[in-house]
Structure 1
């Protein structure tokens, strides 16, 4: 019988591990892909919260799914095995002698109770450790992502010390976790040997009374001992199950949350042709993370089709916020924003963003080829001719062609292999390839030197033709030819008009900004 059991185990055990491993790997893939899909469709204000920083999200996508998989894989397979052992043990024990089996069975919940208490203690510790590791992950993510800044300020020791500090908390938690787990193991074995002692004592009394035989006592003893060992082993998974419970809660927190501004939402209308008439009517807005600071109070602005509107004003007055509101990164607290007379909230979000091309102050390039970075701009696949045409319009084709690998050149993380002007021109090409009706330029040349600025500005001037354009600028020299210049101050449009008109306003805000700019330039 034991040889037969050995042969069955030789076949069943590898199969059990194999199939549960496949289930675990499929689960980890599904959890990560579902969570990532949910994360990228969250509204922008969700990412403004500290607990949803890039490091924390990365740690959650990586660690949480792996923790759940750990429990579903090896741990779950062993739990299934132990459950089968427990059922077989009970059947054998009760068929041999139900009185002795019942006596021993009364004591077995002690082992289960010990595992349950362990699980409750571990739950709090694993949640604390998880949060601490996410903080440490954020420090590492920031340091590696900005390694040039860290190196230039010789701040390596600072970030190392900060990382070590963030890792100290989990060490203390781990020590406490180890102590509780160790005490739990001790009690598991204490209860196990208590069951042994009671089995022999009760068996001896029953044999003495003539109610059972020596053979039956050992049948019951071995059957229930194997069952007790299985239960005792299962209690050792208390730390893993506590972590998995916390990880599962973290996963479902993401999966169950509905994005307030969801780009994957297919509802909403689309327009057959877009003129590019934009109007902001009585818009009030505060950032969700800074509810005490009023950005706009009663902002009104009309942007006509095919015209260029420039937004100027002091730093922090809300110029870039206008662009965020137009792209529906945020919704205004009150007031209306319309495109061709229709409120943008009623339009299909993905379609709305496809009508707009954004070129920001700090262009973000992905660690791929220049060709792939430009193609990102178009939904679906951009053809090679479209990519080259966009690059030519952006004054980028010449410098790309001069590179050894041309359009197949990998730009490096955040585009580090390219200069500021080159990155900006690739970003402009990416915006052009989607053929946007509306162009949004958020201080597109402010971070460039004079030569790069001239080349990039030339590219922008070509792109802006026959497009509704909103320009945010610090350098007033770049917006003098705009159709309308709007001055933002104290949450409203304080002045608007052409460059010459605004200069002639006595004690005007724009005139004082130009004077200040001229003084700084000289």
Structure 2
């Protein structure tokens, strides 16, 4: 019927159908292969990003921003390469499609010309909408943060690479603080005390009395700056220097924290502990192209193994199917028990050789014997490095 109604148009269509079929099958196979790899890498990147955002306190505590940005960038580089390949395949598919369409349309362009103009005009409004919507997010992105976590300003009191003992005494002076979400409620009211360098100091109080708040202020999640009505004032001093005058990445690299409810990442046990090296001179390399990759990786494995032994985690890690390379689920749940997760978090804090160690009920899930052995390792580390513990 096609040849009887429009012989020229039918001849054009049927002449290219066999070739188009072969090309479509080939490009479809390549596209499916590229899509599978693309979705896999995209899933890994999305999982990492979701865990970074849900574990932002952990990331900040261990000064892991730069390390995790590099790791996320590596995923994006893979996606870019795969995307380019997928674009070539997609371009081939579209070229075939439009070749057939244009051959067909060339016969009937007289009738289609006005319709194509209408389609182009309708797409113009779709382009304008995202351009108009881009203004508000840009203003959020350009907002200057109160605490600049990526800035390089501020003083560094000592070299992190030296193993010498330092005076890491901490003074909390006339500290009054209210959270931004509750400006009328004083979480801390004119609090003053001193954490002596190289010793253990315990803060004891009822739930909600501000113990964790002091740890948050020491890590500079917040600053005790005067707010409306003068609700926040005072300061925290490290070695007699106001911590607001210190380099923030350096300050956080000096602190290790073990929380009551530790947040781990979907990664191997080795990687979870090695995240504690972020911001230190022994930071785990993210790419094989980095200088001295093998030497740095071997050094990191030695440090991670020693930290796992300090945290009383080495015995159960060795019994896992792949040892340190066993992959665990992120978040606050998974195959590991609460006590095991707490010991992994303890190893993550100890591996960075911190000058200051914060235990926010960090041994609550451990039995008495394990807790005693771990605290003995902490005291030994204290004697060697002069670590201050709260």
Query: TM-score w.r.t. structure 2 length?
Result: 0.60
The aligned counterpart of 1:108 is none
1:364 aligns with 2:364: no
3-state SS in 1 of match to 2:321 = coil
Alignment of 1:267-346 (within 5 A): 267-272=153-158, 274-333=166-225, 334-346=233-245
Cα root mean square deviation, aligned? 4.7
Alignment of 1:373-522 (within 5 A): 373-379=272-278, 380-381=283-284, 383-413=300-330, 414=332, 416-450=334-368, 452-465=370-383, 467-471=386-390
| Structure 2 residue ranges without an equivalent (≥5) | 1-8, 10-15, 21-37, 61-82, 95-108, 160-165, 226-232, 285-298
The separation in 1 between residues aligned to 2:201 and 2:304, in whole angstroms, is 28
3-state SS in 2 of match to 1:279 = strand
3-state SS in 1 of match to 2:134 = helix
Q: Is the Cα–Cα contact under 8 Å of residues 307 and 347 in structure 2 kept in the other structure?
A: yes
Alignment of 1:139-154 (within 5 A): none
Say if 1:419 and 1:467 are closer, same or farther in 2 by CA, change over 3 A: farther
Query: TM-score w.r.t. structure 1 length?
Result: 0.46
The separation in 2 between residues aligned to 1:392 and 1:313, in whole angstroms, is 31
Say if 1:231 and 1:452 are closer, same or farther in 2 by CA, change over 3 A: farther
3-state SS in 1 of match to 2:185 = coil
| Structure 1 residue ranges without an equivalent (≥5) | 11-24, 48-68, 79-221, 472-522
Greater shift, 250-259 or 277-286, is seen at 250-259
Say if 1:310 and 1:239 are closer, same or farther in 2 by CA, change over 3 A: farther
Say if 1:228 and 1:452 are closer, same or farther in 2 by CA, change over 3 A: farther
Alignment of 1:28-427 (within 5 A): 229-237=115-123, 240-241=126-127, 244-245=130-131, 248-249=134-135, 251-272=137-158, 274-333=166-225, 334-379=233-278, 380-381=283-284, 383-413=300-330, 414=332, 416-427=334-345
1:155-175 Cα deviation digits (max 9, x unpaired): xxxxxxxxxxxxxxxxxxxxx
Q: Is the Cα–Cα contact under 8 Å of residues 304 and 468 in structure 1 kept in the other structure?
A: no
The separation in 2 between residues aligned to 1:418 and 1:287, in whole angstroms, is 34
3-state SS in 1 of match to 2:276 = coil
How many residue pairs are counted as aligned between the two chains? 288
The separation in 1 between residues aligned to 2:116 and 2:310, in whole angstroms, is 71
Q: Displacement of 1:231 after TM fit?
A: 4.3
Higher gyration radius (CA):
1
Q: Displacement of 1:459 after TM fit?
A: 4.3
The aligned counterpart of 1:169 is none
3-state SS in 2 of match to 1:403 = coil
The separation in 2 between residues aligned to 1:342 and 1:235, in whole angstroms, is 64
Q: Is the Cα–Cα contact under 8 Å of residues 276 and 340 in structure 1 kept in the other structure?
A: yes
Q: Displacement of 1:254 after TM fit?
A: 4.5
Greater shift, 401-410 or 342-351, is seen at 401-410
Which structure shows the bigger proportion of residues in helix conformation?
1
Q: Displacement of 1:321 after TM fit?
A: 0.4
Q: Displacement of 1:422 after TM fit?
A: 1.6
Q: Displacement of 1:239 after TM fit?
A: 7.2
